[in-house]
């Protein structure tokens, strides 16, 4: 088997792992707020739990990114992160108190923080072989399929009148499938760095100067986007005709995100960073369409928002793979995640 073909299979395998993980997480996130309320938590508790989880999650990525570079144990650290997720979400079915559920929600965020930087390093080795934009774009597309499938699975359980605990319990299926796929991948591809051509010749101590300059651009791009909870809050306040329209708009955006990640990732490998500029310009109209328009304009706005998010998720990480040497990429992805999150929170 050629290295390019093996690298593509590795990207698909990691994509399947992320598909299962996102189905688990997004499925749980679709009902955690409501279940916290049922268990007696106040709105303040819900907000603090979500905020603390994100704060810990993004801050911890700095540590796990550095630790993965320091130890070179990318597989092991990634596996620990996924294992925490595999345990935390299904255990939410047994949470009889809001304090326990809140703790498990934070644990899930910690698991994602642990796994993300080293996983992105593993993915980068194969992406460089098959095309950085295409590799990260394909991974993002599969990730978003899981983001849509998880809430749909939970919705089906609730529609059958099985209750919130059953909604959490059903998520053990994608959680376990994802962990099994990860362990199989580690067995088949123990050293993904072998995918990466040695001709890159990216060496040197620390992170390159251009990486820090690049982070300024990343922060500015992130500041121009908002996360979906704020969009959903606005849409609810402006009074959509049916409550189901909001999750349907989110599903639409995630579908567009997946397609955009593939398309713009593909073109990034051919014309470079110009692709990201085109995608950002194309998506600029999302804010006025969503926040100033009616229902029809909200649909257009969510499509534009999905285009921007898909392009960012595929291209921004792909650029780092070609800019930072392999032995520093864990730290780079950890810093990248933090720099991308702070401006977006400020924008919100």
302-332, pLDDT tens digit by residue? 899 999 989 888 899 999 998 898 889 999 9
Q: Report DSSP letters for 195-236, one per residue.
A: GS-GGG----SS--HHHHHHHHHHHHHHHT---HHHHHHHHH
CA distance 243 to 246: 6
Is the pLDDT confidence value at 56 over 90? Answer: no
pLDDT recorded at residue 96 = 86
| pLDDT above 90: residue 267 | yes
For 117-157, the pLDDT digits (tens) are: 999 999 999 999 999 999 999 999 999 999 889 888 988 88
* Cα–Cα distance measured from residue 111 to residue 87, given in angstroms and rounded to the nearest whole number: 10
- Mean pLDDT across the chain: 86
CA separation for the pair 60, 51 (Å, rounded): 14
Q: Report how far Cα 37 is from the mean position of its chain's Cα atoms.
A: 26
Of the chain, the percentage scoring pLDDT greater than 70 comes to 90
Q: What is the pLDDT of residues 166-192, one digit of tens each?
A: 999 999 999 999 999 999 999 999 999
Query: At which residue do the structure tokens 């499509």 appear?
Result: 303
DSSP designation for 322:
T
Predicted confidence (pLDDT) at residue 346 exceeds the cutoff of 80:
no
Instruction: Encode pLDDT of 291-304 as tens digits.
Output: 887 777 888 998 99
Distance CA 42, CA 300 (A): 34
Could you give the 3-state DSSP secondary structure of residue 32?
helix
Go through the domains of the chain in sequence order and give each one's CATH number: 3-191+208-347 (1.20.1250.20)
The 10s digit of each residue's pLDDT in 188-202 is 999 999 998 765 555
For residues 56 and 107, is the Cβ–Cβ distance under 8 A? no
Query: Where does residue 255 fall: left (phi above 0), alpha (psi -120 to 50 degrees), or beta otherwise?
Result: alpha
pLDDT (average), residues 218-236: 74
CA–CA distance, 194 with 331 (Å, rounded to integer): 20
Over residues 245-270, mean pLDDT: 86
How far apart CA 142 and CA 148 sit, in angstroms, is 10
From CA 28, how far away is CA 154, in angstroms rounded? 8
With 0-12 CB in 10 A as exposed, 13-18 as middle and 19+ as buried, what is 174?
buried
Residue 86 and residue 143: Cα distance in Å, rounded? 16
The pair of structure tokens assigned to 327 is: 């032995």
Ordered DSSP codes for 97-148: SHHHHHHHHHHHHHHHHHHHHHHHHHHHHHHHHH-HHHHHHHHHHHHHHHHH
Question: How far is Cα 242 from Cα 84, in angstroms, rounded to an integer?
Answer: 37
| Chain Cα centroid distance, residue 299 | 23
> In angstroms, rounded to a whole number, what is the distance separating the alpha carbons of residues 187 and 281?
43
Per DSSP, 3 falls in state: H
Cα–Cα distance between 188 and 137 in angstroms, integer? 23
Quick one: which H or E segment has residue 184? helix 172-188
Q: Which residue has the tokens 């029809």?
A: 296
Whose CA is closest to 202, among 149, 145, 125? 125
Rounded average pLDDT over 332-336: 91
């Amino acid at each position: 088997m050629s290295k390019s073909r093996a690298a593509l299979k590795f990207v698909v395998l990691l994509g399947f792992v992320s598909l299962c993980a996102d189905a688990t997480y997004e499925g749980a996130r679709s009902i955690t707020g409501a279940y916290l309320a049922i268990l007696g938590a106040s709105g303040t508790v819900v907000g603090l739990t979500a905020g603390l989880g994100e704060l810990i999650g993004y801050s911890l990525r700095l540590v796990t990114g550095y630790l993965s570079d320091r130890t070179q144990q990318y597989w092991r650290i990634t596996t620990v992160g996924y294992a925490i997720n595999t345990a935390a979400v299904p255990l939410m079915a047994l949470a009889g108190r809001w304090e326990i559920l809140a703790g498990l929600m934070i644990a899930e965020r910690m698991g994602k923080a642990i796994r993300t930087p080293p996983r992105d390093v593993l993915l980068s080795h194969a992406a460089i072989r098959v095309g950085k934009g295409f590799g990260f774009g394909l991974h993002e597309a599969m990730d978003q399929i899981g983001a849509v499938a998880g809430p749909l699975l939970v919705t089906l359980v609730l529609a059958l009148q099985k209750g919130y605990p059953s909604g959490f319990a059903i998520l053990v299926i994608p959680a376990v499938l994802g962990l099994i796929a990860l362990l199989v991948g580690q067995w088949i591809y123990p050293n993904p760095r072998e995918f990466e051509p040695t001709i890159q010749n990216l060496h040197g101590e620390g992170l390159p100067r251009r990486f820090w300059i690049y982070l300024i651009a990343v922060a500015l791009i992130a500041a121009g986007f908002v996360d979906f909870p704020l969009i959903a809050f606005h849409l609810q306040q402006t009074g959509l005709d049916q409550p189901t329209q909001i999750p349907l708009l989110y599903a639409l955006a995630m579908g567009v995100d997946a397609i955009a990640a593939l398309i713009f990732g593909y073109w990034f490998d051919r014309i470079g960073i110009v692709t990201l500029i085109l995608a950002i310009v194309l998506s600029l109209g999302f804010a006025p369409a969503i926040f100033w328009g009616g229902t029809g304009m909200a649909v257009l706005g969510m499509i534009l928002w999905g285009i921007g998010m898909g392009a960012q998720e595929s291209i921004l990480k792909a650029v780092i793979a070609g800019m930072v040497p392999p032995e520093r990429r864990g730290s780079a992805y950890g810093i990248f995640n933090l720099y991308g999150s702070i401006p977006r929170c400020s924008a919100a």
